[in-house]
Amino acid sequence: MTERKKVTIQTLNEMKEKGEPISMLTCYDYPMALLEEKAGMDIILVGDSLGMTVYGMDSTLPVTMDMMVNHAKAVRKGAPTAFLVGDMPYMSYQVSKEEAIRNAGRLMAEAECDAVKLEGGKEMAETIEAMVKATIPVMGHIGLTPQSIAQMGGFKAQGRSAEGALKLVEDAKALEQAGASLLLVEAVPPPVLSEITKALSIPVISLGAGEDAAGQLLIVHDILGFFDRFVPKFVKKYADMNSAIYDGLKSYVDEVKSGKYPEEKYTYGMKPEEVEKFKELLKA
């Protein structure tokens, strides 16, 4: 297998120009990163969704910078050539531009991310401009933005009214103008995504917003059937890992209880004379 060249922002721009769809998936740990890299994932997002998928939280709000940096470091180890995006957790970029730069800088320097992602429309434009000036590539995120669930009244599709849709197009333009390199659009109707894609020159990635984008993102725990507490409408399940893992765990428990495990082949050998000598030594 030939080694893949590092995926860069130039690679992603070229893919968009050629009409070659960009694959993007979340990832939170080293073993999954190895597999995503092997599968040829173009962009890997270490999302703050890890609060819910990995830590069992009810929302992404309690996720901290330290959690994000640690998980992103592990993912980078397993996925050296994918374009790695580190998610900025709640209140790591909203308080001031200085804090946003410092926190994003941690994801870039400590975890070797290629870009950071933050949620919000026009109101984040100045912050993005400051981050880009500080050499940090940014992916914007509009539409359903999980860090605003309190304001949105839950995990709800956005841009379903004409006014709401227009605001999203304006937000998208403002983020591109501020210097964002990529834009994620989550859970909006396809006609809204199409207008955003048409209006921008940077690659737009769709998460449950239809096909008219440079690429697609889904959550790894959703597509592999790891997380079934809450499954959005746009999720396509590509594997049923919960069942496969449960079957393995249950068989292990059953075999330990019944004494079937460990059979001799799972133990280390010892020459009979060494066993005899060992017994003699014990008597002495």
Residues 97-116 interacting with ligand KIV (rule: CB under 6 A): none
Cα 92 to Cα 12, 88, 186, distances in angstroms: 27, 6, 21
Strand partners, 141: 119, 184
Catalytic, out of 119, 176, 186, 195: 186
Residue type, 268: Y
As measured in angstroms, the least distance from the Cβ of 95 to ligand KIV is 19
C-alpha span between 282 and 284 (Å, rounded): 6
CA distance 117 to 88: 6
Question: Which SS3 state, helix, strand or coil, does residue 143 take?
Answer: strand
Q: Looking at 2-10, 41-49, 191-199, 249-257, which segment touches ligand KIV (CB under 6 A)?
A: 41-49
Helix 190-199, helix 162-178: angle, nearest 10? 30
Structure tokens at 60: 């992404």
CB 235 within 8 A of CB 223: yes
Could you give the angle at the alpha carbon of 52 between the alpha carbons of 47 and 55, nearest 5°? 100
- Residue 284 burial by CB count (10 A; 0-12/13-18/19+): exposed, middle or buried? exposed
As measured in angstroms, the least distance from the Cβ of 48 to ligand KIV is: 4
Site string for ligand KIV, 151-190 (x = CB under 6 A): ---------------------------------x-x----
**Active site includes 186?**
yes
Mask 202-241, x = binds ligand KIV (CB under 6 A)? -----x-----------x----------------------
Smallest separation (angstroms) from ligand KIV to the CB of 148? 12
Instruction: Name which of 113 and 219 has its Cβ closer to ligand KIV.
Output: 219
Nearest approach in angstroms of CB 194 to ligand KIV is 20
Give residue 203's Cα distance to chain centre: 17
Stretch of 42-50, 102-110, 167-175, 267-275 contacting ligand KIV, by CB under 6 A: 42-50
- Determine the Cα–Cα distance for residues 32 and 11; give it in Å rounded to an integer: 23
Q: How far is the CB of 14 from ligand KIV (least distance, A)?
A: 23
- The answer to whether 26 contacts ligand KIV (rule: CB under 6 A) is yes
Scanning residues 47 to 76, which ones bind ligand KIV (CB under 6 A)? 47-49
Binding piece for ligand KIV, criterion CB under 6 A, among 46-54, 73-81, 130-138, 155-163: 46-54
Question: Any bridge partners for residue 152, and if so which?
Answer: none
- C-beta of 58: minimal distance to ligand KIV in Å? 14
Residues in binding contact with ligand KIV, number by CB under 6 A: 11
Q: State how beta strands 204-207 and 182-186 pair.
A: parallel
Residue positions annotated with a catalytic role: 186
Report the interface residues with ligand KIV, using CB under 6 A.
Answer: 26, 45, 47-49, 87, 146, 184, 186, 207, 219
